[in-house]
C-alpha cells in the first residue's frame, strides 16, 4: 500500500533528536541545508532518473551518461549554482562521468602545479568547460611506481617546444577517466628530458582532440580501454588509452610551479619540494576518505532498513516472526559498519582540516607538515576504502538473497566503489608509505626531534612500551583514556617491533621488503588509532540535541571495541591486555549493541538520503519492500513477453526431441 510507513514503529523507538543528528552527520547546518536542497532538486528532476541504468548496453549507457552530465551542467548554469552547490549536484546525480575527473583532478592539478600565469590562462577555459580535461598519469606498464613512467617530454630548443612521445607499448597511458571518448586536454605526466638529461617526472598540459570536430590531433592515438567490472557501474566512465607519436607542445605548457625549463633549455628546480608534483593525489585521497563515509552509510542504510523489515523464524502462537535485525549475529555484522560510517565521517572532516592547514603552510613556504599529510591521506585512504568495500559486500550478504538483486542497489554500489581500493594508489602500496613514515619516526626518537601531530604518541614511547591496561570491569572500556592508551600502546609496540627486526638487516631496503607484511599491519594499527582518536575528540566537542551525544558515544564504543575484538591478537600479543580484559571488551560490545538497537533506523535516517539517491528497493524509506520487488521483477526485459526470444530456436526443438524419445 502506497503512503504507509512500514518502519514507523521503528522510528518511534528513537531516543534522540534525529534532526539534530542530521546536522552532525552533514558537518554543519549550512551543509545539511545545502545537501537537503540539492538532493531533492536532483530527485525531483526526471532528467536525472536512474531507471533501467543497469540494463543498458555499453554504448547506450555511455551516451546516457553524456546526456546526464551535460544536463547537469545546463542546470548548474540555469540555476546559477555556486561551485559548492554544483559539486553537490554532481554528487547526487550519482553516476561516474568525465566531469568527475575534469573538476576533481584536471583543475586541481593545474591549480596545484601551474604557475600563476598558467592558472590565469587555463583555469577560465576549464571552469567554463570550453576545454575538458583528464589526469593522464598511469601507463600500461606502471601505475604504482610513478618514477617508472616511460612517456617522454623532450625539450627542443630550436622550436621552444616539448616533444611528447610514447616510446614503448608499456608507455601507453592506460586508465585515465574521461580520456577515452571525451577529453580535449590532459595533464600528462612524462619524463622531462632537456640537454640529453632525464630530470624525472613532470606534468604537461597537452591538447588531444580538436575543439572543432573532436578528432584526435595528429600524432595522438586515443580510445576506451574496454568494459569494466559490474553491470552499469563504472562503465559510465570512458577510462582511456593514449599514445603519442612525437606530439609537439609549447614550452609554457609544462606545469612550472615545482620546476622550470628556460628558453635555453636549462632545468631549474624551485625551492618547493619535488613531492608537490604528487599534490593532486594528496588532495584526491583526502576527498576519497570523505567519500568512504558516503558509500558505506549508503550500504548500511539499505541493510539496516531491510533488516528491520525482513523476518525469519521464531513465530510464537501464529504471531509474527523475528525481525532479522534482532539476531545478535546480524547486529555483530551490521552495527560495527554503522559505527564505521560515522567514524569515517568524522575522520574525513578532520582530514579536510589537515589538508587545508598543509595547503596554507605550503603557500607560506612551510613544508614541515607535508610528510605527515602524505602519511595521513595515504593511510586513511587505504584504511577507509578497504573497510568500505568490504562493508558494502557484507551489507549485500546481510540482505540475504534479495541483496544479490540489482534492484537492492548493492551490487552496483559495490562495483562502482571497489576500484577505490586501487585508484589513487593501491591500498597496500599506500600502507607501506605509512610504514616508511613510522620507521623514520621511530629511528629519530633518540635524536631530540619531538614527534608532533598524529605521531605525537611516539614521544611517550617508554611509557607506551611498558604500560598495562587497568580495565577491571566491562564498563571500564567506556573510558576514553583507557581506549586511547590501548590503541597507542598497540600501534607503538608494533612499530617498534618492526624497527627492531629491520635493524637486523645489513641492507635496510632488503629488510623493508622482507618485513613488508608486518610493516603494513603496523601501518593499519597506526591508522586505526587516528580514526579512534578523532572520534573520541569529536565527542569532546559541544554537541547539541537531545540524546545525540549519547548515541554517538554508543557508536564510538562499538567502533573501537569491535576493532579491539577483531584485532585481539595484536593487543594480547603485544602484552597490553590480558585475555580476561579482552573478554570484558566483548561483553561491553554486546551491551552497546542492545543500546543501539532501538535507534538503528533513526541513525540511518540521519544520513538524510532520498530514495532517488539510495536507488534501492530494500532500502526504501517507507520499508515497502515486497510489493516493490514484485513490481520491479516484471519490468525486466525478459518479462516483456510470456514466450522468451530464442524459445522457437532452442527450447522448442529440445522439448520436441524429448517428446519423440518418450514416444519411443
Ligand X SMILES: Cc1cc2nc3c(=O)[nH]c(=O)nc-3n(C[C@H](O)[C@H](O)[C@H](O)COP(=O)(O)OP(=O)(O)OC[C@H]3O[C@@H](n4cnc5c(N)ncnc54)[C@H](O)[C@@H]3O)c2cc1C
Ligand Y SMILES: CCCCC/C=C\C/C=C\C/C=C\C/C=C\C/C=C\C=C\C(=O)SCCNC(=O)CCNC(=O)[C@H](O)C(C)(C)COP(=O)(O)OP(=O)(O)OC[C@H]1O[C@@H](n2cnc3c(N)ncnc32)[C@H](O)[C@@H]1OP(=O)(O)O
Q: Which residues are catalytic?
A: 424
Residues linked to residue 194 through DSSP beta bridges, in sequence order: 197
241 binds ligand Y (CB under 6 A): no
Rg of the chain, C-alpha, whole Å: 27
Pick the binder of ligand X from 135, 244, 609, 621 (CB under 6 A). Answer: 135
Cell match 598558467: residue? Answer: 118
To the nearest whole angstrom, how small is the minimum distance from the Cβ of residue 344 to ligand X?
Answer: 20
Pick the binder of ligand Y from 348, 425, 557, 623 (CB under 6 A). Answer: 425
The grid cell for 76 is 548548474
147 interacts with, out of ligand X, ligand Y, none, CB within 5 to 8 A per kind: ligand Y
To the nearest whole angstrom, how small is the minimum distance from the Cβ of residue 420 to ligand X?
Answer: 8
Pick the binder of ligand Y from 10, 20, 94, 488 (CB under 6 A). Answer: 94
To the nearest whole angstrom, how small is the minimum distance from the Cβ of residue 246 to ligand X?
Answer: 22
- Would you say 325 or 420 has its CB closer to ligand X? 420
Part of the chain binding ligand X (CB under 6 A), chosen from 133-141, 163-171, 204-212, 491-499:
133-141
CB-facing half-sphere around the CA of 393: CA atoms within 13 A: 8
Part of the chain binding ligand X (CB under 6 A), chosen from 115-123, 139-147, 215-223, 591-599:
139-147
DSSP string of 142-180?
Answer: -SS-GGG---EEEEETTTTEEEEE--SGGGSEE--TTTT
For residues 46 and 71, give the distance between their C-alpha atoms in angstroms, rounded to a whole number: 11
146 interacts with, out of ligand Y, ligand X, none, CB within 5 to 8 A per kind: ligand Y
For residues 397 and 409, give the distance between their C-alpha atoms in angstroms, rounded to a whole number: 13
Pick the binder of ligand Y from 112, 133, 177, 411 (CB under 6 A). Answer: 177
428 interacts with, out of ligand Y, ligand X, none, CB within 5 to 8 A per kind: ligand X
Could you give the string, one character per residue 515-554, with x where binding to ligand X holds by CB under 6 A and - elsewhere? Answer: -x--------------------------------------
Could you give the string, one character per residue 108-137, with x where binding to ligand Y holds by CB under 6 A and - elsewhere? Answer: ---------------------------x-x
The grid cell for 160 is 621552444
137 binds ligand X (CB under 6 A): yes
Pick the binder of ligand X from 114, 203, 419, 619 (CB under 6 A). Answer: 419
To the nearest whole angstrom, how small is the minimum distance from the Cβ of residue 144 to ligand X?
Answer: 3
Pick the binder of ligand X from 113, 138, 151, 183 (CB under 6 A). Answer: 138
Part of the chain binding ligand X (CB under 6 A), chosen from 84-92, 246-254, 423-431, 558-566:
423-431
To the nearest whole angstrom, how small is the minimum distance from the Cβ of residue 95 to ligand Y?
Answer: 6
Could you give the string, one character per residue 39-78, with x where binding to ligand Y holds by CB under 6 A and - elsewhere? Answer: ----------------------------------------
Pick the binder of ligand Y from 32, 42, 89, 104 (CB under 6 A). Answer: 104
CB distance 134 to 276 below 8 Å: no
Pick the binder of ligand Y from 429, 539, 582, 629 (CB under 6 A). Answer: 429
443 binds ligand Y (CB under 6 A): no
Quick one: CA dihedral 443, 449, 454, 459, positive or negative?
Answer: positive
Pick the binder of ligand Y from 99, 138, 253, 574 (CB under 6 A). Answer: 138
Report the relative pairing of strands 220-224 and 240-244 from DSSP bridges.
Answer: antiparallel
Q: What is the separation of C-alpha 610 from the centre of its chain, rounded to a whole number of angstroms?
A: 21
Could you give the string, one character per residue 351-380, with x where binding to ligand Y holds by CB under 6 A and - elsewhere? Answer: -------------------xx--x------
The grid cell for 179 is 580520456
180 binds ligand X (CB under 6 A): no
* Burial of 630 per CB tally in 10 Å (0-12, 13-18, 19+): exposed
362 interacts with, out of ligand Y, ligand X, none, CB within 5 to 8 A per kind: none
For residues 351 and 484, give the distance between their C-alpha atoms in angstroms, rounded to a whole number: 19
Pick the binder of ligand X from 425, 480, 511, 557 (CB under 6 A). Answer: 425
To the nearest whole angstrom, how small is the minimum distance from the Cβ of residue 294 to ligand X?
Answer: 17
For residues 350 and 535, give the distance between their C-alpha atoms in angstroms, rounded to a whole number: 10
The grid cell for 32 is 545539511
Supply the angle between the helices 548-566 and 480-502 in degrees, to the nearest 10.
30
For residues 496 and 493, give the distance between their C-alpha atoms in angstroms, rounded to a whole number: 5
Q: Which 322-351 residues touch ligand X, going by CB under 6 A?
A: none
To the nearest whole angstrom, how small is the minimum distance from the Cβ of residue 416 to ligand Y?
Answer: 4
For residues 395 and 619, give the distance between their C-alpha atoms in angstroms, rounded to a whole number: 11
For residues 109 and 106, give the distance between their C-alpha atoms in angstroms, rounded to a whole number: 5
Part of the chain binding ligand X (CB under 6 A), chosen from 78-86, 415-423, 549-557, 607-615:
415-423
DSSP string of 302-349?
Answer: HHHHHHHH-B-S---TT----BGGGSHHHHHHHHHHHHHHHHHHHHHH
To the nearest whole angstrom, how small is the minimum distance from the Cβ of residue 641 to ligand Y?
Answer: 30
For residues 441 and 444, give the distance between their C-alpha atoms in angstroms, rounded to a whole number: 5
413 binds ligand Y (CB under 6 A): yes
In the chain, % helix, strand, coil (3-state, to 5) comes to 60, 10, 30
Pick the binder of ligand Y from 282, 289, 347, 618 (CB under 6 A). Answer: 282
CA-closest candidate to residue 314, choices 304, 306, 326: 326
CB distance 304 to 600 below 8 Å: yes
Q: What is the separation of C-alpha 460 from the centre of its chain, rounded to a whole number of angstroms?
A: 33
Which residues have CB under 8 Å from 46's CB, separation 6+? none
561 binds ligand Y (CB under 6 A): no
Residues that bind ligand Y (CB under 6 A): 94-96, 100, 104, 135, 137-138, 143-147, 177, 275, 278, 281-282, 284, 287-288, 291, 370-371, 374, 412-413, 416, 423-425, 429, 433, 436
Amino acid at each position: 500500500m502506497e503512503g504507509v510507513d512500514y518502519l514507523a514503529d521503528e522510528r518511534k523507538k528513537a531516543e534522540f533528536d534525529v534532526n539534530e543528528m542530521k546536522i552532525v552527520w552533514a558537518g554543519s547546518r549550512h551543509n545539511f541545508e545545502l545537501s537537503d536542497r540539492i538532493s531533492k532538486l536532483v530527485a525531483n528532476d526526471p532528467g536525472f532518473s536512474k531507471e533501467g541504468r543497469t540494463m543498458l548496453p555499453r554504448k547506450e549507457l555511455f551516451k546516457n551518461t553524456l546526456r546526464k552530465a551535460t544536463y547537469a551542467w545546463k542546470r548548474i548554469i540555469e540555476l546559477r549554482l555556486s561551485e559548492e552547490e554544483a559539486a553537490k549536484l554532481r554528487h547526487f546525480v550519482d553516476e561516474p562521468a568525465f566531469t568527475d575527473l575534469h573538476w576533481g583532478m584536471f583543475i586541481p592539478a593545474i591549480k596545484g602545479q601551474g604557475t600563476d600565469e598558467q592558472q590565469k590562462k587555463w583555469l577560465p577555459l576549464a571552469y567554463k568547460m570550453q576545454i575538458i580535461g583528464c589526469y593522464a598519469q598511469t601507463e600500461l606498464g606502471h601505475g604504482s611506481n610513478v618514477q617508472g613512467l616511460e612517456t617522454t617530454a623532450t625539450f627542443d630548443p630550436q622550436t621552444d617546444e616539448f616533444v611528447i612521445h610514447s616510446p614503448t607499448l608499456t608507455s601507453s597511458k592506460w586508465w585515465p577517466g574521461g580520456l577515452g571518448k571525451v577529453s580535449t586536454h590532459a595533464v600528462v605526466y612524462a619524463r622531462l628530458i632537456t640537454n640529453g638529461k632525464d630530470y624525472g617526472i613532470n606534468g604537461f598540459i597537452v591538447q588531444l582532440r580538436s575543439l572543432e570536430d573532436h578528432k584526435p590531433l595528429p600524432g595522438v592515438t586515443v580510445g576506451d580501454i574496454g568494459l569494466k567490472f559490474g553491470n552499469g557501474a563504472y562503465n559510465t566512465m570512458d577510462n582511456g588509452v593514449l599514445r603519442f607519436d612525437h606530439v609537439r607542445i609549447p614550452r609554457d605548457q609544462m606545469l612550472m610551479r615545482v620546476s622550470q625549463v628556460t628558453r635555453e633549455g636549462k632545468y631549474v628546480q624551485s625551492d618547493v619540494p619535488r613531492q608537490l608534483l604528487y599534490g593532486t593525489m594528496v588532495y584526491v585521497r583526502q576527498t576519497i576518505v570523505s567519500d568512504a563515509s558516503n558509500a558505506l552509510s549508503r550500504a548500511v542504510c539499505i541493510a539496516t532498513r531491510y533488516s528491520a523489515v525482513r523476518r525469519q523464524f521464531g513465530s510464537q502462537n501464529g504471531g509474527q516472526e523475528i525481525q532479522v535485525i534482532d539476531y545478535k549475529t546480524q547486529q555483530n555484522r551490521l552495527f560495527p559498519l554503522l559505527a564505521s560510517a560515522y567514524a569515517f565521517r568524522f575522520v574525513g572532516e578532520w582530514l579536510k582540516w589537515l589538508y587545508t592547514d598543509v595547503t596554507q603552510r605550503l603557500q607560506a613556504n612551510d613544508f614541515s607538515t607535508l610528510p605527515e599529510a602524505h602519511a595521513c591521506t595515504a593511510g586513511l585512504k587505504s584504511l577507509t576504502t578497504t573497510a568500505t568495500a568490504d562493508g558494502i559486500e557484507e551489507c549485500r550478504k546481510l540482505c540475504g538473497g534479495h541483496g544479490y538483486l540489482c534492484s537492492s542497489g548493492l551490487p552496483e554500489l559495490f562495483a562502482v566503489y571497489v576500484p577505490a581500493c586501487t585508484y589513487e594508489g593501491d591500498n597496500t602500496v599506500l600502507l607501506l608509505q605509512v610504514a616508511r613514515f613510522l620507521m623514520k619516526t621511530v629511528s629519530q626518537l633518540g635524536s631530540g626531534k619531538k614527534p608532533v601531530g598524529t605521531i605525537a604518541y611516539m614521544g611517550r614511547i617508554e611509557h607506551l612500551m611498558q604500560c598495562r591496561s587497568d580495565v577491571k570491569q566491562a564498563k571500564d572500556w567506556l573510558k576514553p583514556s583507557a581506549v586511547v592508551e590501548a590503541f597507542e600502546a598497540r600501534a607503538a609496540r608494533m612499530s617498534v617491533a618492526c624497527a627492531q627486526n629491520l635493524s637486523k638487516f645489513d641492507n635496510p631496503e632488503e629488510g623493508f621488503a622482507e618485513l613488508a607484511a608486518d610493516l603494513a599491519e603496523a601501518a593499519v594499527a597506526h591508522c586505526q588509532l587516528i580514526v579512534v582518536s578523532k572520534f573520541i575528540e569529536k565527542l569532546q566537542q559541544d554537541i547539541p540535541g537531545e540524546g545525540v551525544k549519547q548515541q554517538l558515544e554508543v557508536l564510538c564504543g562499538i567502533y573501537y571495541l569491535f576493532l579491539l575484538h577483531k584485532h585481539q591478537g595484536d593487543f594480547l600479543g603485544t602484552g597490553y591486555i590480558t585475555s580476561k580484559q579482552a573478554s570484558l571488551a566483548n561483553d561491553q560490545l554486546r551491551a552497546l549493541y542492545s543500546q543501539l538497537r532501538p535507534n538503528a533506523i533513526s541513525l540511518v535516517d540521519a544520513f538524510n538520503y532520498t530514495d532517488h539517491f539510495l536507488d534501492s528497493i530494500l532500502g526504501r524509506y517507507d520499508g515497502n519492500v515486497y510489493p516493490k520487488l514484485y513490481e520491479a521483477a516484471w519490468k525486466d526485459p525478459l518479462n516483456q513477453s510470456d514466450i522468451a526470444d530464442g524459445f522457437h530456436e532452442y527450447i522448442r526443438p529440445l522439448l520436441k526431441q524429448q517428446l519423440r524419445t518418450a514416444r519411443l
